[in-house]
Structure 1
Amino acid sequence: MNFNVSVNNLSLTYGSYPALKDVSFILNEPKIYGLLGRNGAGKTSLLSILASFREQTGGTIAIGGEAPFENAEIMKHVSFIFNKDYKDESDNVKESLEYVGRYRSQFDAEYADYLVEKFKLPLKKPIKEFSKGMQSALNVTIGLASRSPITIFDEAYLGMDAPTRDIFYRELLEDQSNYPRIIILSTHLVSEMDYLFDEVIILHKGSIVLQEDFESLVTKGSSITGAAEVVDEFVHPMKQLNSQQLGNTKSVMVYGELSEHDRKVARQRGLEIGPISLQDLFIHLTEGDD
């Protein structure tokens, strides 16, 4: 079965507050999609609709051509990994993984055991006594080992230290290479995780700002550096994201692909053209009043 995701004019309101407004996008390839947004942008609201934890107020969503809400046949193929509260649960790791395995037909118990060892998780200790980082490591173990056609990680790394996050990232890339599926990573750790993304979706104030292939997105931004007056003249017709000046030297971030002619002119005028990061683009594309 094809598990493509199609979202059309999706909206969600909490009382009179619009959490999501006319959101439309398509996920039709087995890729790692980075869902980026500032706190309160609507990321978790959107993902909870994709995972059928709640129903949208307006618009449509289809997974494999079917509406997923209260659709057991669709939802057994979707895994939503979020920061679960384990304080009232007495299960240990072994019991928890056995439970997941009963309800996920693609679940790989051998791979789950490998990840448990990799993350150094104690098998018999109740999960509610784990540190936040250990609970997050268990969550991503479940998400990776489930191998669901649609796997969603909503800031699932919270509490993990840097070495543990690195294990998660490496395992994610390797398992995606071996078992391709649609993986959605929601994050605000843009600079740390950008190399994981095949495609980027930026959500701002409940609306999609852009959806674009990662490689083409980062080539659309440049930094132009040189004498202030020359830089100002060169970037005048361009979309400017940010500028910094020290003495007579100025650097301006611009968004939009530079033509060969632009690059030639820049060199002739003594200007330096450099790349800008996804984080730079993210920050400036989501600027504005909160």
Structure 2
Amino acid sequence: MTPVIEVTGLTKRYRETVAVDDVSFAIEKDTIYGLLGRNGAGKTTVMSILTAQNFATSGDVRVFGEHPYENARILQRMCFVRESQKYPDDATPIHAFRTAGLFFPNWNQEFADQLIDDFQLPLKTRIKKLSRGQLSAVGVIIGLAARAEITFFDEPYLGLDAVARQIFYDRLLADYSENPRTVILSSHLIDEVANLIERVLVIDRGRIIMDESTDAVRDRAANIVGDTAAVNAFVAGREVIHRETLGHVSSVTVLGALTAADREKLARSGLDVTPVSLQQLIVRTTQHAAENAASTHSAASAEEGALR
């Protein structure tokens, strides 16, 4: 695969806060990515730096092999749609779409008109008078109809209801199949976008903790459910990222693909295996990483105290 974005040692600090901490990754051409993580994890900061709307403290960013900063040739090949997008006070959706049509060389007005109808967007109402859902629709339409070679969606669809979000997902997939491009989709609605994304990038506390294909991620964990003693015996020596117990029954999430021998052992032990959804896995993984970080910090503090 051909990388369209290459990031090496990217760090962003705001005084004492490290928003992005020495991350390196590559974004491949014509792939839908899920950039996932908790609020404040660093997702928006990363996207802002990649689109030259923010500056790195250190590290290197290349888009199509070039630095994106003050590089109009590169910037017009990217579209960044964010929830907090600002527009002039007197602007209407018509103005926003006309401006987008002038800036993005692959802009498709016919597709934009179809999306306007799909989202039932009032074109002559000033944008500042639109509902949150209608404002989200403006961003989604620009992001889709621009057909930029790289498109970033930073949760611009949060104001859309379930029906409108499904329209967005359907139109994105259908147009992507006919007009491939690279899409980076940041979302808290992980289960909703799980079937859209081909590769998962998870950022937690400013660091990349997962960079894998979606298929590989789905196979990397399992829930083991049954009698607590039998569950404990099976998971001994495995990496446990979550545990719940009620009475004599436990549900334990373990990392690592299960082999045929594992499944035979589970069957003999009377234990059940349930799949881990992408959302569950990411939530459990980030919780596990936070617990490990807290444990490491506590151990370091105790050691420091003992040396004094």
| TM-score bucket (shorter structure) | over 0.9
Corresponding residue pairs, total: 289
Deviation, 1:268, is 1.6
Question: What does 1:92-241 align with in structure 2 at a 5 Å threshold?
Answer: 92-241=92-241
Question: What does 1:263-278 align with in structure 2 at a 5 Å threshold?
Answer: 263-278=263-278
Structure 2 distance, partners of 1:177, 1:146, is 15
TM-score normalised by length of structure 2? 0.90
Deviation, 1:182, is 0.7
Structure 2 distance, partners of 1:38, 1:84, is 18
1:234-266 per-position Cα deviation (integer Å, ceiling 9, x unaligned): 001111111222222211111111111111111
CA contact (8 A) 1:220 1:255 kept: yes
1:24-64 per-position Cα deviation (integer Å, ceiling 9, x unaligned): 11112311100011011011100000111012111111111
Deviation, 1:85, is 4.8
Structure 2 distance, partners of 1:130, 1:249, is 51
CA contact (8 A) 1:86 1:127 kept: no
How high is the sequence identity, in percent, across the aligned residues? 38
Segments of 5+ residues of structure 2 without an aligned counterpart are: 295-308
Secondary structure in 2 aligned to 1:254? strand
Cα–Cα, structure 1 residues 199 and 247, in superposed 2: closer, same or farther, change >3 Å?
Answer: same
1:98-132 per-position Cα deviation (integer Å, ceiling 9, x unaligned): 11101111000110011001100112111111101
Secondary structure in 1 aligned to 2:175? helix
Deviation, 1:180, is 0.8
Aligned AA (1:261): A
Higher deviation after alignment, 85-94 or 103-112? 85-94
Aligned AA (2:135): Q
Cα–Cα, structure 1 residues 142 and 87, in superposed 2: closer, same or farther, change >3 Å?
Answer: closer
Cα–Cα, structure 1 residues 180 and 142, in superposed 2: closer, same or farther, change >3 Å?
Answer: same
CA contact (8 A) 1:3 1:150 kept: no
1:216-245 per-position Cα deviation (integer Å, ceiling 9, x unaligned): 101111011121111101001111111222
